[in-house]
Structures are given as C-alpha cells and as structure tokens.
Chains A and B, each alone.
Chain A
Amino acid sequence: MAEVLQFCFSGLTVGAVYALVALGFTIIYNASDVVNFAQGEFVMLGGMVTVALAAAGMPLPVAAVAAVGVAAVVGVALHRLAIEPARGASPVGLIIITIGASIFIRGIAQVVFDKQFHKLPAFSGDTPFAVLGATILPQSLWVLGGTAAIVVGLHVFFERTLIGKAVAATAANRLAARLAGINTTSMMTLSFALAGAIGAVAGILVTPITLTSYNVGTLLALKGFAAGMLGGIGNPLGAVLGGLMLGLIEAFGAGYLSSAYKDGIAFVVILVVLFAFPRGLIGKRSAERV
C-alpha cells in the first residue's frame, strides 16, 4: 500500500511537469496549428536561466521571475522570426522549423551556460513528509500546487478576459476572428509567449528535484507531446490529464517492471494512442453545423 502511494506521489510530480509541457503544446497548437517541438527548450530555459541568475547573486524568486520573462521573450522571438515568416508552409515544414529552433536554442544554451548538470535549492527545504507510510518531498507539493495554479489561471484567462476569448476565437476560427477585428498574428505571438512562460515555470519548479542541464528539453518535449496525444491534442483539460496519467504510468512501470524502461514507456503510450484511439482520451470534437 505504501509502495503504491509512493509511486503515485512520484508519478504525479513528474506528470505535472509533463502536463505543463503538454499545455504549452496545446496553447500553441490551438492558436496557430503549429506543433512546437521547441516546447521542451522553454522548460530548460526556465531552469538554466534561474540557476545562472541565482549564481550571479540574484535572490531566487527574482531570478525565477526573470527566467519566466526570458522564456516568454524566446517564445515571441520563435514566432516572429521563425514561424511567422514561414506562414503558409506545410504542417511538416513548420514542425521541422520548430525542431531546428530547439536545436538552435540548445546550442546557444550550451555556449552561454555550460554542459554541466545544475541544481536549485528546494523552495521549502528537503525534509520529506510522511503520508500513510510513503513520503512526499515539499518540492513535489510546489510542483503540484504550481501546476494547479497555472491551470486555474489559464481557465480564468480564457473564460473571463476579453483577450483570452480573442485567443480562443482565433483558435476556433481564424477567418472569423480576423473579420471581428482581432489581430490574429498578435494572438499567436501571445500564445507563444504564454507557452514559453508556462514551460519555464515547469522548469523552475522541477529543477530542485530532477536537476537541469542544457539538453533536458528534448526528452521533455517528447514526453509532453506523448501526454498531449494521450489527452487529445488541442484539448487543455486532456493535456493536463494526459500528463498526469503519463507520469503515473511511468512511475508504476519503472517501479513494477524495470526503471530501465522508464523513458520508453512514453513512446509505447504514443504508439498505443495512435493505433487505438487517435483522437486521444478526450479528442477534440467538432461541433459545426452546415
């Protein structure tokens, strides 16, 4: 029983990070139809920039906010400099552009920072809580709480603010959004900034647990993509559920099968999803009448 609970805790913690990466995929995909494989790089930037600024003497919270800003700016640059000039390119072409951008960002990070692994101190210490025989790190609670806060924040943004609704309208029907006077290009840029910021938050929250380095983004992007596929690409709720499920599947797989297969599990999930239910668990249903 304690073992199951332990796997749940570690699975949900990792899953929350996958969920945030998958949310980034979803936000960009909905606004612009681009599958952004540079999403993992935002997570890397969140961790690495915070580490670098903290090492330079900045207080951790300030460094973290600055890192979120940097990732958002990188997101804007990615859209303006790489995606927007290629408007009208095929989906595969756009995916390759984002893969190129991710290699570029990783290369720059390698030069600007270094190739070492880095750690951040846990926000509230390292003393684990005991829960029914299992233990949970305070930092895990930060990861879960941070993820929950972002999900609630996004919900409020999309449901309660005019600009959030304009982004949702752009996602639903780009032509009609333009005809309503919405600058859809700006909405897409905003989506990239938002995805960048969310990715960075994930990176900052998880670095005290998993460490970070210039190349952590690649695998996270693939895991986040798998989570997004599992939940149904384009569906924010699906992204969150898919991320948490993938984390749990990985934790139980690593615990009961072998931790050697941990990273392979995400890819098995992608294959199963594509074969069995290609629209994901909560596939995007189109409600249109002609």
Chain B
Amino acid sequence: MLAVEGVVTAYGRIVALRGVSLDVSEGEIVALIGANGAGKTTLLRVISGIQPIQAGHIHFAGESIDRLAAHRRVAKGILHVPEGRQVFGPLCVEDHLRLGAYLRKDAAIAADIERLYARFPRLKKSRHRAAGNLSGGEQQMLAIGRALMGRPRLLLLDEPSMGLAPMLVDEIFDVIIDLKATGITVLLVEQNAVAALAIADRGYVIETGAIVHSGTGRVLLEDPKVRASYLGL
C-alpha cells in the first residue's frame, strides 16, 4: 500500500534520511523504532508531505505521491498525527473533529463525530472546551480523533504515548489495536519500542537516517542486537 524507496531528505545541510526504503501492506501495523534523532519523525513527515524529499520515491496505493502537496495526500487517505499532539489551542473539541473532516463532502460527518464521542467519552464531555485547556491525554485522543475524521486509509502515528500516564498509554495502544480491526493501516513511531513491537505485525529499526534492521515484531523483539541497543533489555 505504501512503498518508500531510497528516500533522501535534509534540513539545510543536515542530512536526515539517507536512502530509506520501507513497505507497509494494507491492514498492517508497522512499528518504526530507533534512537532520538535517528529520523523516525522525518520519515513520517516526508510521507505526509510536510517535508520535501531530495531523492527517492514514495508510492501510495500504486500512485506516485512524491510531488503531491500535503493537503492532497490527506485527500488520498494519508493522515498524520504529529508528535506533540499539535492541537489548535483556542478551538474547541468539536471544531477539531469538524476540521478533521475538512476535505470530506459526504453526509456521514455528524454520525462519525458521534461515533468518535462514543469511543472517546472524555472528548464528548469536553466537546465545547478549548483544546489548549485539555489534559495531555485528552489532547492526544483529540489529535487521533481529528485524524480519524479524515477517514484514513493509512494513519501515521508519531509518539502517541509520549508524556502520558501509564494507564493512558495502555488506552492509546488499545485504540491502535482497534484501528487495525477497522481496516486502517498504521505506521507507528514509538519511544516505547517494546510495547510498539508487541502490537506490530512488522517493525523497522532506523539508525542515523537509514534502516538497519527489519522483521516481524516478534523477530525484532527476540533479536539480541535489537534488544541490547533499542529495547534496553
């Protein structure tokens, strides 16, 4: 479904990705793990079109999307939940969900908002509150909810558990497993590598802008080199 081939990108003179290739098949959860600064976030940014690429190709559902603007990739079903939640501070919860469906023209938007409220009751309780005043966990749910309103085929999740209390982390991982059950493909970047690999079908390990290991979640979890370097086991 998603094929990244030899992608290179840089921030000014600092090369962030030096020829990254990766595949995600429909319906999979793929985890991307690696140290800080390895290029995990950058890889998600080039897939969603926030960061331009200098070489390589990105194909989505059989089409080249290399030169497509970010909002056109959203229209194709690539939704990116960025690191640090990035809510619209002064806008209320309901506005976020409505804006998540900004490009949709169908009649099911209101029903989808209600479905989301059923899944995330805490958002319903805060539906008219400004997002900037929500707790970190609520903001993360809201960021995911906003992306879901765009009817994703591929969801890019960047550090969804960062800075959350352990109970909320479990809740986020439950949500990701639910997403898979509804047919959404997920590419997941996580500091919490053990938890990410445990729910992932496959994983990639990225190091200084290049993929250095890949395999099924279980194989990576049991690989002694991966365990020592990335899982702290």
Q: Is the CB of B102 within 8 A of A179?
A: no
**Cβ-neighbour of B150 out of A176, A178, A180, A289 (below 8 A):** A180
**Cβ-neighbour of B136 out of A169, A175, A286, A289 (below 8 A):** A289
Q: Is the CB of A180 within 8 A of B102?
A: yes
Q: Which residues of B contact A165 (CB under 8 A)?
A: 91, 95, 98-99
Closest to B135 in A: A289
Given A175-B86, A179-B80, A162 and B163 touching (CB < 8 A)? Answer: no
> B69 near A: Cβ within 8 Å?
yes
> A173 near B: Cβ within 8 Å?
yes
Count B interface residues, CB 8 Å.
Answer: 36
A289 to B140, CA, bound (A): 11
Q: Is the CB of B90 within 8 A of A172?
A: yes
Q: Which residues of A contact B71 (CB under 8 A)?
A: 178, 181-183
A175 to B143, CA, bound (A): 13
**Cβ-neighbour of B88 out of A169, A178, A183, A290 (below 8 A):** A169
> B79 near A: Cβ within 8 Å?
yes
> A168 near B: Cβ within 8 Å?
yes
B:27-61 near A, CB below 8 Å: 48, 50
Closest to B86 in A: A176
Q: Which residues of A contact B80 (CB under 8 A)?
A: 179
Q: Is the CB of A182 within 8 A of B90?
A: no
A199 to B59, CA, bound (A): 46
Q: Which residues of B contact A286 (CB under 8 A)?
A: 89, 132
Q: Is the CB of A176 within 8 A of B82?
A: yes
Q: Which residues of A contact B136 (CB under 8 A)?
A: 289-290
Q: Is the CB of A179 within 8 A of B74?
A: yes
Count A interface residues, CB 8 Å.
Answer: 21
**Cβ-neighbour of A181 out of B50, B75, B81, B95 (below 8 A):** B75
A169 to B163, CA, bound (A): 24
Q: Is the CB of A162 within 8 A of B86?
A: no
Q: Which residues of A contact B75 (CB under 8 A)?
A: 181
Closest to A289 in B: B136
Given A169-B88, A172-B91, A175-B86, A287 and B102 touching (CB < 8 A)? Answer: no
Closest to B73 in A: A181
> A166 near B: Cβ within 8 Å?
yes
A67 to B188, CA, bound (A): 52
Q: Is the CB of B70 within 8 A of A173?
A: no
Q: Is the CB of A179 within 8 A of B70?
A: yes
Q: Which residues of B contact A181 (CB under 8 A)?
A: 71, 74-75, 102-103, 150
Q: Is the CB of A168 within 8 A of B74?
A: no
A:134-191 near B, CB below 8 Å: 162, 165-166, 168-169, 172-173, 175-183
Given A179-B70, A179-B80, A168 and B98 touching (CB < 8 A)? Answer: no
> B6 near A: Cβ within 8 Å?
no
A149 CB to closest chain B CB (Å) equals: 24
**Cβ-neighbour of A172 out of B88, B102, B139 (below 8 A):** B88
**Cβ-neighbour of B87 out of A166, A176, A182 (below 8 A):** A176
Q: Which residues of A contact B203 (CB under 8 A)?
A: none
**Cβ-neighbour of A173 out of B86, B100, B134, B150 (below 8 A):** B86
Q: Is the CB of A288 within 8 A of B132?
A: yes
A173 to B91, CA, bound (A): 10
Q: Which residues of B contact A177 (CB under 8 A)?
A: 88, 99
Which of B70, B82, B91, B134 has most A Cβ within 10 Å? B70
A4 to B135, CA, bound (A): 50
28 chain-A/chain-B pairs, Cβ below 8 angstroms: A162-B99, A165-B91, A166-B99, A168-B88, A168-B90, A168-B91, A168-B95, A169-B91, A172-B88, A173-B86, A173-B88, A175-B82, A175-B86, A176-B88, A179-B50, A179-B81, A179-B82, A179-B147, A180-B74, A180-B102, A180-B146, A181-B75, A181-B103, A182-B71, A286-B132, A287-B130, A289-B135, A290-B84
- Enumerate the 3 nearest inter-chain pairs by beta-carbon distance, A residue then B residue, closest first: A287-B132, A181-B74, A172-B88
Query: 9 additional contacts, CB 8 Å, given A162-B99, A169-B95, A173-B87?
Result: A165-B98, A168-B88, A172-B88, A173-B89, A175-B82, A182-B71, A289-B135, A289-B139, A290-B84
Q: Which residues of A contact B (CB under 8 A)?
A: 162, 165-166, 168-169, 172-173, 175-183, 286-290
